[in-house]
Amino acid sequence: MCRDETDYPEFHAGCPDLAESEGSMKNSHESLFKRSFQTVLRRLGLNYRMKTSRVYDLYWSVINKHVIEARTREIHFYQDLLKGFRQGDLIFDVGANDGTKTDVFLRLGAHVIAVEPDERNQAILREKFLRYRLVAKPVEIVGKAASERTATEIMWVDGPGSALNTLSQKWVETLQGDKVRFKDTHGDLDFARRKAVETTTLEELIVKHGSPFFVKIDVEGYEICVLRGLKRPVPFLSFEINLPEFRPEGLECVRLLESLSADGRFNCTADLQRGLMLDEYADARTFSEILERCSEKTIEVFWKTSRTAAK
C-alpha cells in the first residue's frame, strides 16, 4: 500500500522548503484564529477580562507553559520579598499601566490601589478586574498621576495606553535621543501629544486608603517627584532606575528614603526572574556606592524598613 509522506520522518528532513512551508501555513492559521478570536472578545468587551481568567491560563499552559511559569516565579519572588505580608494588606501599584503587576499582587492576596492617569489603561483595568464578575476583585482605580503635589501637570503621550507615557520631559528626551536602544518599544517615540492630568501624592493616597504594606513605583523617570510626595516610611517600596541617564535621580531617591527612615535597607534586581542582586540588603551609603558602579541598563530598587503596616 502506498503510504503518505508523513509516515516517513526523513521525507521532511530531505525537503526543508516543504516542511517550512507547512509549518508557516500552520502558524498562519493559528495566528488568524487567534486574531479572529481576539476581535470577537474585543467587540464583546471581554478581551482583557479573559486575560485574568482560568481559561486564559489553561490556554497558555498548553500553547506556551513558559508564560505561566514566568508569572509563577514572579509571584514567588514577591512572596519571598514581602516578609510579614498578610492577606488583605494594601499594595499601591503606582503606574499600574494595563494591570500586569496588579494581577500579580492580587494573586498574593493584596487589596490593590491602582494609580494610573492614562484613560485607556483605566478602561483596561476596569475590564480586567471589575466588570463581568460576580464579585469584583479588590482593586480601586485612581485615575490620576502620582507626583509631589496635588495639581494639574502635563503628561507626554507616546500613544494611548503606552507604557512609555510620562510626566518626565527628561525621559522623553532620553528615549528620543537613543531610538536604537529603545527600538523594541511600541510606538514611534515622537510624543507628539501632550495631555493635562490631575496629580495626587502618596501621602494623600495613604490618608484616603490607609497605610500600604508595599508601594511599587514605575513612572518612567518621574520616580523622584513621586517619592517627594511621601512623608512617612512604609514596610516595603520599589522604584525603577534607567541607567546611566537617571543615576543622579536614583541616588537622590536613596537619600530621600534614608531621610524618612534611617534604618531602611536597599537591594535591587535587573530581572525579577533572577532574583535580587545582593545577598544582603545594604544601608543607604553602601547601596549608593553600588549604584554608582552599576552597569545594568535598568534596575528595580527595593527599600525595606522595620515599620509594620497598619490594617
pLDDT in tens, 86-96: 999 999 999 99
Pairing of strands 298-304, 265-269: antiparallel
pLDDT score for 65: 85
64, part of any domain: no
Q: What angle do CA 260, 165, 168 make, to 5 degrees?
A: 50
In a domain, 61, yes or no: no
Residue 154 lies in a domain: yes
Pairing of the two strands 236-242 and 265-269: unpaired
Q: Is the pLDDT of residue 29 over 80?
A: no
126-161 tens-digit pLDDT: 999 998 888 889 999 999 999 999 999 999 999 999
Helix (H) or strand (E) holding 109: none
Q: Could you say which DSSP state residue 54 is in?
A: H
Please check whether residue 20 lies inside any domain of the structure: no
Backbone torsions φ then ψ of 55, nearest 5 degrees = -60, -45
Per-residue confidence (pLDDT) for residue 62, from 0 to 100: 79
> What is the domain count for the chain?
1
Separation CA 72–CA 277 (nearest Å):
20
Q: Is residue 287 part of a domain?
A: yes
Q: Is 291 helix (H, G, I), strand (E, B) or coil?
A: helix
pLDDT tens string 248-263? 999 999 999 999 999 9
What span, in angstroms and rounded, lies between the C-alpha atoms of 244 and 291?
10
Range of the domain at 91: 72-304
Query: Which tops the pLDDT comparison, 56 or 245?
Result: 245
CATH of the domain at 215: 3.40.50.150
Coil, strand, or helix at residue 97? coil
Mean pLDDT (whole number) for 69-86: 95
Question: Within a domain: residue 272?
Answer: yes
What share of the chain in percent tops pLDDT 90? Answer: 68
Task: Look at residue 12 and tell me if it is in a domain.
Answer: no
Specify if 295 maps to a domain: yes
pLDDT value for 134: 83
